[in-house]
Amino acid sequence: MTEIATPEEWDNLSRPVPEWFQNSPFGIFIHWGAYSVPAWAEPIGALGTIDDHEWFKHNPYAEWYYNTIRIDGSPAQQHHKEEFGGEDYDAFLDQWKAEQFDPADWVDLFKFAGADYVVPTTKHHDGIALWDAPGTGERNTVRRGPGKDLIGEIARAVEDKGLKLGLYYSGGLDWHVRPFPPHTTSESVHDTSRPKDAGYAEYAYNHVVDLVDKYRPHVLWNDIEWPDAGKHFGAHGLGTLFEHFYSAVPDGVVNDRWGATHQDYGTSEYEAARENESGSEWENCRGIGFSFGYNQVEGPEQSLTGRQLARHLTDVVSRGGHFLLNVGPRADGTIPDIQRQALTGLGHWMADAKQYLVGARPLEGAPVTDQGDSWVRWVDRGTEVVAFVDSLGDGAEAALTLDTGTFDVAQASVEGPGGTVEAAADGLKVTLSPDRPGPAIVRIPRA
């Protein structure tokens, strides 16, 4: 057995983060799978705000349906019995037809929303591959269900529209190839009930190498962990996989969910793993609602609007991060109206705002942000700073207190339809437009 690599060996993979990623504030995640057929979960709240016992038994992630229906006494298990007679999960693969799948339409929407990169799931924890993955036999979307290489079609559409392709892969879990009892704790997910053996490490390695060779993604987005027996630089080792990826895609990046090995950037998810947001490069991911996979139970009350997405994106960028926003298509391939409207609303704001987010960095010593009903986030663009100003209530005005010796407040301006700005005794007064698509974009030159 090849020994696990040392920290020094992993450190040898470290290199500067490519400029394209540094200048890509916004990406689109896509969770689409056999779980999109039942499309059911309890929308109880955001990851990181609910304790383990409650979370797993009432899991709001529709893509975790296969796990949740196996937890005795869970509402999902009862729903599965009532709606589907308790049938085998794999029946959903055959019922998943993707008959209205139009990847060009998807990517048009993503590009309008201002996205820089797109990350579809290639294999989630249920083990069903969205391409003809080696070793999966008939259990993939080319052989069953949609009858298509869904990843190949998405990849071509992304390339055609000039965006970067990333690929999600669940290296940490595969409930089909390595079945375990259902997860009911975070410990079981990340340690006690995940596959760690060399056989599964080789299986996952062959998948990811195939993805790299076929589609040349710029992001490898692994989830949960990587089998411990594969954390080496030998045959079918994770170190060898990273070397192969960087050789094939020299400006590619990998996330941090490979265990204690190597990463180009950290990740947080909803409110979980926020400690990873302190690194030099990090990315927050979340859905428009509380689920990644499409959840028919979710409505407007669980979903962010375009204006709320604009605030979330701005908040992330103002703190030095990237934002990966998930879209969960229906089984037929259509994007639900709530999600489409949110992305369209965000796009109307991004038409003016994106140029001020690209390459922006956190403003050191930024003035106070939220004041009363006012919501303010700051970014540094070298010769100027930009304040993104919104109201959390009905207020139409916001005051920005600034050092008038440091900033040329007389030359401040608002870009786009967000409102107007004028100099005040101790800074600026921003009058917000009632029909603004997102925060007002206030440019303030340095004196």
Identify the pLDDT of residue 53.
85
> For 174-208, what is each residue's pLDDT tens digit?
999 999 999 999 999 999 999 999 999 999 999 99
387 residue type, one letter: A
pLDDT of 1 over the 70 cut: no
- What topology does CATH give the domain 7-357? TIM Barrel (3.20.20)
Q: What is the pLDDT of residues 250-264, one digit of tens each?
A: 999 999 999 999 999
> Is the model's pLDDT at 306 over the cut of 80?
yes
Task: Convert the pLDDT of each residue in 64-102 to its tens digit.
Answer: 999 999 999 999 999 999 999 999 999 999 999 999 999
Q: Name the residue with tokens 């797993």.
A: 56
Contacts of residue 291, Cβ cutoff 8 Å, sequence gap at least 6: 41, 43, 60, 61, 62, 63, 298, 328
Rg of the chain taking only CA atoms, in angstroms: 23
pLDDT at 405: 83
Give percent above pLDDT 70 in the chain.
100
The answer for residues whose C-beta is within 8 angstroms of residue 135's C-beta and 6 or more apart is 203, 206, 207
Domain positions in the chain are 7-357, 363-445
Q: Mean of the pLDDT values across residues 349-370?
A: 92
Q: Which tens digit of pLDDT belongs to each residue from 108-157?
A: 999 999 999 999 999 999 999 999 999 999 999 999 999 999 999 999 99
